[in-house]
Amino acid sequence: MVNGQQQTDSSGAGADGKIQEFDAIVIGSGVTGLYALYRLRKLGFSARGIDEASGVGGTWYWNRYPGCRFDSESYSYGYSFSEELLQEWDWKEHFAGQPETERYLNYVADKFDLRKDIQFNTRVKSATYIEKENRWLVEGTDGSKFKGQFLITAVGILSAGYVPDFEGINDFKGTWTHTSRWPKDGMDLKGKRVGVIGTGATAVQLIPMIAPEVAHLTVFQRTANYCAPLRNGPIDEETMKEIKTRYPEIFRICNETAGSFMHEFDPRSAMSVSPEERLDYYEKLWAKPGFGKWLANFKDVMLPGPANEDYAEFVKNKIRERVHDPVVAEMLVPKDHTFGAKRVPCETGYYDTYNRKNVSLIDVRQAPIEKITANGVKTADAEYDLDVIIYATGYDAVTGALLNIDIYGEDGILLRDKFVDGPRTYMGVSSVGYPNLFTVNAASVGNFPRAAEPLMDWVTDCMAYVRDNGYTRIAPTLEAEDAWVKHVNEDGENILRTKTTSWFVGANIPGKARALLTAPDTAPVMRAKRLEVSANGYEGFELI
């Protein structure tokens, strides 16, 4: 390393001289990575997937904590590219749990023989663009080396778990884990004193599952969230048969909605109907399963203003109704952000858990965690003795897993340094100075794989265009990248996601620049934008 830039033998040869050569390298074998390998094979590219895990699944491989499950309908989540797959697979629950989802992705990998193209148990350390060869050299921490003309980083948007740098964190004598690295063999929590730090979507799923078996559960809440009842249930054989006849309609709805979910906003304004009619509509939504409470609401509920405030108060009252102790209830009512500014966690028994005698809620905004001790957690007010600490403290979202890899572009510039003030890309998929690199994790936010399939269709079609038209490389122009960053920053100011300290803007990570990490546009708008770009000969890109 010289002046922050990597010095690399242009041949890419390692100590043993063995380099595996492919047309394309795909980092990750989750929902997006598996589909990338399928598409690349269809288009005649040789490809190698690389994954740190011992099996496929991505986030559904790692997140094994009790209660982990979909918050979008199972049948809206599965791949749509194969009618045979759609008809073969029977979902067991309307909102599938982690074990079922992992089984599904393994089924897909086996059905399409994708494992033969994946090297598991390999953590990627670096990726270096070799300019005179126009190839990417990818190196694993185990010494593995791969070269490919194209590099796809399907590393996920919520895969880099974040644990705050608490003083004394390594002094704790008990057992601890982050939810995203839950042990494969599970954790023995029965009869133990357990602390959960964090009350985001993961904790909301976890807490009701473990509370009945532990001796005492202490929840350290950093931010109260607006949570809505999931209302999950099994899918019987007849219902699954009926769902299979509706797949075209299900996918049509998903493709037309803002986040690619099975819910469409009511075109009316909440303020255009009487308070009685508005409340009746709220109650009907509340009784339905899934995200309807959020994404099938009046259209202006998702905009800053009186409609949003009205519905937020409705949800707050629903929380108060569930929790017996009014003091605890008020602790669970959000005070620092509007409804919909963060993704709304769906819950099953979460609020009721705080009515249990063996559960305590600690507000660490009022009494911050000062340090982790040998025996537990010390806040400004008290010390809590614990046998187990579970960090449900979220993720370094979107760019975290990407920038954990040392990615060196032209002139040895580190992508981490380029992104120091926030992502600098064109449409989230490509960046100036990094030819043939597709950062798809930064462009596919939404209901997976509803977002992942059209995105990977576009990326792999782009690669085929480069190959079939005699080009060797593609990268955005500086003008296109500048215009895109300006669009993200300026138009992002008009959406709810930028109005709070959420992972959408990187505000949950100390020192991370505050910037919208995704596009401010809806999924249909982004698909149309990408298709317009390709239809115009990849407008905004330089092809050489």
Domain CATH for 479: 3.50.50.60
Comparing 71-80, 254-263, 412-421, the range with the smallest average pLDDT is 254-263
Looking at the structure, tell me whether residues 402 and 383 fall in a common domain: no
| Between residues 505 and 195, the one the model is more confident about | 195
- CA 438 – CA 434 distance, rounded (Å): 9
| Element spanning 317, H or E | helix 306-322
Q: What is the pLDDT, as a whole number, of residue 166?
A: 95
**Residue 3 above 50 pLDDT?**
no
Going by pLDDT thresholds of 50, 70 and 90, the confidence category of residue 5 is very low
Q: Which residues pair with 510 in a beta bridge?
A: none
Q: Stretch 126-155: mean pLDDT, rounded?
A: 97
Q: Which residues pair with 474 in a beta bridge?
A: 543
Looking at the structure, tell me whether residues 373 and 418 fall in a common domain: no
**Residue 511 above 90 pLDDT?**
no
Q: Both tokens of residue 258?
A: 């803002």
Supply the angle between the helices 98-111 and 31-42 in degrees, to the nearest 10.
10
Question: Residue 343's CB: how many other CB atoms inside 10 A?
Answer: 19
Three-state SS annotation for 474-502: EEECHHHHHHHHHHHHHHHCCCHHHCCCC
The answer to whether the predicted template modeling score (pTM) of the entire model surpasses 0.85 is yes
Looking at the structure, tell me whether residues 261 and 354 fall in a common domain: yes
Q: What is the pLDDT, as a whole number, of residue 442?
A: 61
Q: Specify whether the CB–CB gap between 264 and 253 falls below 8 A.
A: yes
**Residue 9 above 80 pLDDT?**
no
Looking at the structure, tell me whether residues 326 and 402 fall in a common domain: no
**Residue 432 above 70 pLDDT?**
yes
Looking at the structure, tell me whether residues 454 and 362 fall in a common domain: no
Range of the domain at 377: 228-391
Compute CA distances 215 → 8, 220, 325, 372, 392, whole Å. 55, 16, 21, 20, 19
> Strand locations in 215-306, DSSP E?
216-221, 228-229
Looking at the structure, tell me whether residues 245 and 326 fall in a common domain: yes
Going by pLDDT thresholds of 50, 70 and 90, the confidence category of residue 506 is confident
**Residue 496 above 80 pLDDT?**
no
Looking at the structure, tell me whether residues 256 and 346 fall in a common domain: yes
Q: What is the pLDDT, as a whole number, of residue 428?
A: 93
Looking at the structure, tell me whether residues 411 and 531 fall in a common domain: yes
Q: Both tokens of residue 268?
A: 């009316």
Comparing 370-374, 393-397, 406-410, 502-506, the range with the smallest average pLDDT is 502-506
**Residue 10 above 50 pLDDT?**
no
- CA 87 – CA 84 distance, rounded (Å): 5
What pLDDT digit, counting tens, does each position of 301-325 carry? 988 899 999 999 999 999 999 999 9
| Between residues 73 and 501, the one the model is more confident about | 73
Q: What is the pLDDT, as a whole number, of residue 445?
A: 60
Residue 357: inside a domain: yes
Residue 415: inside a domain: yes
Q: What is the mean pLDDT of the chain?
A: 92
| Between residues 453 and 12, the one the model is more confident about | 453
Going by pLDDT thresholds of 50, 70 and 90, the confidence category of residue 514 is confident
**Residue 343 above 90 pLDDT?**
no
**Residue 45 above 90 pLDDT?**
yes
Residue at a domain's end among 391, 421, 449: 391
Residue 464: inside a domain: yes
Q: Stretch 34-47: mean pLDDT, rounded?
A: 98
Q: Which residues pair with 346 in a beta bridge?
A: 228
The 3-state DSSP composition of the chain as helix, strand, coil percent (nearest 5) reads: 35, 20, 45
Going by pLDDT thresholds of 50, 70 and 90, the confidence category of residue 338 is confident
Q: What is the pLDDT, as a whole number, of residue 463?
A: 98
**Residue 77 above 50 pLDDT?**
yes
Q: Stretch 234-244: mean pLDDT, rounded?
A: 98
**Residue 11 above 50 pLDDT?**
no
| Between residues 234 and 16, the one the model is more confident about | 234
Q: Specify whether the CB–CB gap between 212 and 234 falls below 8 A.
A: no
Going by pLDDT thresholds of 50, 70 and 90, the confidence category of residue 494 is confident
Q: What is the pLDDT, as a whole number, of residue 1?
A: 29
- CA 509 – CA 262 distance, rounded (Å): 31
Q: Stretch 350-372: mean pLDDT, rounded?
A: 97
Which residues contact residue 225 at a Cβ distance below 8 angstroms, ignoring those fewer than 6 apart? 199, 200, 201, 204, 334, 342, 344, 345
- CA 237 – CA 239 distance, rounded (Å): 6
- CA 434 – CA 215 distance, rounded (Å): 53
Q: Stretch 173-179: mean pLDDT, rounded?
A: 97
Residue 108: inside a domain: no
Which residues contact residue 324 at a Cβ distance below 8 angstroms, ignoring those fewer than 6 apart? 355
Looking at the structure, tell me whether residues 372 and 437 fall in a common domain: no
Residue 414: inside a domain: yes
- CA 136 – CA 436 distance, rounded (Å): 8
Residue 39: inside a domain: yes
Q: Residue for token digits 């500014």?
A: 341
Looking at the structure, tell me whether residues 385 and 451 fall in a common domain: no
Q: Stretch 478-502: mean pLDDT, rounded?
A: 86
Looking at the structure, tell me whether residues 473 and 529 fall in a common domain: yes
- CA 106 – CA 29 distance, rounded (Å): 10
Q: What is the pLDDT, as a whole number, of residue 512?
A: 87
Query: At residue 330, what is the residue type?
Result: E
Residue at a domain's end among 391, 415, 442: 391
Residue 76: inside a domain: no
Q: Which residues pair with 137 in a beta bridge?
A: 128, 147
Q: What is the pLDDT, as a whole number, of residue 15?
A: 40
What pLDDT digit, counting tens, does each position of 78-103 carry? 999 999 999 999 999 999 999 999 99
Residue 407: inside a domain: yes
Q: Both tokens of residue 195?
A: 């602390």
Which residues contact residue 89 at a Cβ distance below 8 angstroms, ignoring those fewer than 6 apart? 78, 104, 107
Q: Stretch 118-144: mean pLDDT, rounded?
A: 97
| Between residues 17 and 240, the one the model is more confident about | 240
Q: Specify whether the CB–CB gap between 177 and 390 falls below 8 A.
A: yes
Q: Stretch 36-50: mean pLDDT, rounded?
A: 98
Q: How many domains does the chain have?
A: 2
Question: Residue 17's CB: how many other CB atoms inside 10 A?
Answer: 9
Q: Residue for token digits 């614990």?
A: 386
**Residue 447 above 80 pLDDT?**
no
Q: What is the pLDDT, as a whole number, of residue 397?
A: 82
| Element spanning 391, H or E | strand 388-391
Compute CA distances 288 → 162, 233, 282, 314, whole Å. 33, 12, 10, 16
Going by pLDDT thresholds of 50, 70 and 90, the confidence category of residue 8 is very low
Q: What is the pLDDT, as a whole number, of residue 404?
A: 94
- CA 136 – CA 434 distance, rounded (Å): 10
Looking at the structure, tell me whether residues 379 and 318 fall in a common domain: yes
Residue at a domain's end among 373, 391, 409: 391
| Between residues 326 and 400, the one the model is more confident about | 326
